[in-house]
Amino acid sequence: MKRDFLTLLDLSAEEISALLKRAIDMKSGIDANKCPLIGKSIGLLFEKASTRTRVSFEVGIYQLGAHPIYLNPNEIQLGRGETIPDTARALSRYLDAIVIRTFGHGLLAEFSAHSSVPVINGLSDLHHPCQALGDLMTILEKKGRLKDIRVAYVGDGNNVANSLIEAASVTGMNLTIACPEGHEPDADVLERVRAVANSEILILREPKEAVGRADVVYTDVWVSMGQEKESKKRKKRFKDYQINSKILSCAKKDVVVLHCLPAHRGEEITDEVMDGPQSAVFDQAENRLHAQKALLEMLVS
């Protein structure tokens, strides 16, 4: 029976734990010469531009022995009016799984409903679960555990924040989000996880309060793809939500700094913090590769 990965809640706590262990083993070089997906073909249907998601998936698919096929919507019949159900049914006859990076989350849900092969959310405006897997792997590497780790997310309550909320609810991390009024995470995501969460999830306004006693401090861009017209307004609204050395001094001395990238240096994060000794940003970027390889092995092999 095929399984999809559209949000982090599509995996159980036990599955996430096993996946992270497998990802760490893969990173260490265990089974480096094994190709569990040899002979498979994985489609990459990307409506949104990408650096890390595209490269990490293409490299990971190759390393697992499978063949990646990049699909630009404007270069296939989807861009000429073919329906999503018809595209999903047809691609299911050729591919063993498909990764979709898109705007509206509804496209993923509709595609998944008509696909007979696993569908993986490479990013939507609502969720970024593959990023969350890489984040969890990084925190586990740096802190040795996930349960009771205190994560402070400062900035826009966007798709990354939504997936972090789900990650915290599954793993037992405590998450505090500091964001301006009107920029909170998705209300449905919050309601859904609060009903089952085994961790503390708080929404605050004051960044210093959120960062206080944090083991991990996380931020993301203030202006995401598709929000460029709101750039000036957003930058003004978020100006007090920058991760800088002053804000970071409120956290624990051994705090780890994360950013999902790309970073707009000098806006949501300063060079001093981004390149400083507490930053694990590029370890985090690398871990997308290993976490996604473990995910593909779990869903496709």
In angstroms, the CA 194 to CA 88 distance is 33
In angstroms, the CA 141 to CA 19 distance is 14
In the chain, what is the straight-line distance between the N-terminal and C-terminal CA atoms, in Å?
12
| Mode of pairing for the β-strands spanning 256-259 and 216-219 | parallel
In angstroms, the CA 74 to CA 129 distance is 25
- In the block, residue with structure tokens 């000429």: 80
- In the block, residue with structure tokens 């096929």: 69
Closest by CA position to 284, among listed 77, 128, 174: 128
In angstroms, the CA 263 to CA 100 distance is 23
Contacts of residue 80, defined as CB under 8 A and 6 or more positions apart, other chains included, come to none
Token code pair at residue 150 = 């205190």
Helices (H), 74-128: 84-92, 105-114
Per-position b or e across 116-137, b if 16+ CB within 10 A of its CB: ebbbbbbbbbbbbbbbbbbbbb
Q: Are 116 and 2 in contact (CB under 8 A)?
A: yes
Q: Which residues are annotated as catalytic?
A: 101, 128, 131, 220, 260, 288
Helix and strand numbers, DSSP H then E, in the chain: 12, 9
The three-class DSSP label of residue 265 is: strand
